[in-house]
């Protein structure tokens, strides 16, 4: 039995389906719709804070996205330390206001230098009391406002432009969903 049908309408339908799946980014389902797209907050600073702009989704009246950064003592829960080269991935919820961003952490993953998961937690669990909580953050060049800028750009159908000047209205998304 041939792998491709000899019937022209079946071949056309299969071609259209393949084009649609490719256009929707479903060609590699293991990586999600399009896979991660990590963007550095400070491009000239090497391995520093980044956000995955493809992980950005509407969440509880705001937005959620994954961030990553090298491990620093200030980011660690009480009693935890990672060897040099480790990293922290945090999924955070942001509500982008006119002058500041309300932030709360949703999940955290602590990775060793070789990428192995050391610890994962969901915020709100009893063992997360020792984690830092940012609260409200002003607009400046860091991962949290970059999430707002990415959401605002996507609301307008534009690509993320970064860095933006501080107090730029493009930090505030004009939509609640994509």
> 40 - beta bridge partners?
50
Expressed in angstroms, the distance from the first to the final Cα of the chain is 43
What kind and span of H or E run contains 72?
Answer: none
Give the integer Cα–Cα distance in Å for 61 and 28: 30
pLDDT in tens, 41-71: 877 766 678 899 999 999 999 999 999 988 7
Tally of CA atoms within 13 A in the half-sphere of 118 that contains its CB? 18
CA distance 13 to 34: 23
| pLDDT of amino acid 167 | 64
> For 98-112, how does the pLDDT look when each residue is reduced to its tens digit (9 = 90+)?
888 888 889 989 899
Residue 84: which of 47, 45, 50 has the closest Cα? Answer: 47
pLDDT one-digit tens code per residue, 128-142: 666 666 667 766 657
How far apart (Å, rounded) are the C-alpha atoms in residues 145 and 151?
10
What pLDDT score does 91 carry? 94
In percent, the amount of the chain with pLDDT more than 70 equals 67
* Bridge-based pairing state of the strands 57-59 and 50-52: unpaired
């Amino acid at each position: 039995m041939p792998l491709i049908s000899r019937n022209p309408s079946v071949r056309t339908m299969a071609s259209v389906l393949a084009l649609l799946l490719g256009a929707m980014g479903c060609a590699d389902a293991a990586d999600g719709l399009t896979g991660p797209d990590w963007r550095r907050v400070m491009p000239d600073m090497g391995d520093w804070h980044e956000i995955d702009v493809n992980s950005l989704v509407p969440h509880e009246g705001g937005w959620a996205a994954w961030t990553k950064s090298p491990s620093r003592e200030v980011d660690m829960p009480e009693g935890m330390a990672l060897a040099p080269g480790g990293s922290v991935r945090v999924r955070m919820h942001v509500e982008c206001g006119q002058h500041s961003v309300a932030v709360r952490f949703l999940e955290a993953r602590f990775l060793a230098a070789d990428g192995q998961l050391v610890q994962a937690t969901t915020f709100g669990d009893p063992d997360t009391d020792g984690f830092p909580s940012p609260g409200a953050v002003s607009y400046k060049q860091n991962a949290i406002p970059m999430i707002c800028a990415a959401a605002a750009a996507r609301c307008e159908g534009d690509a993320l432009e970064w860095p933006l000047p501080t107090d730029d209205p493009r930090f505030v998304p004009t939509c609640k969903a994509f």
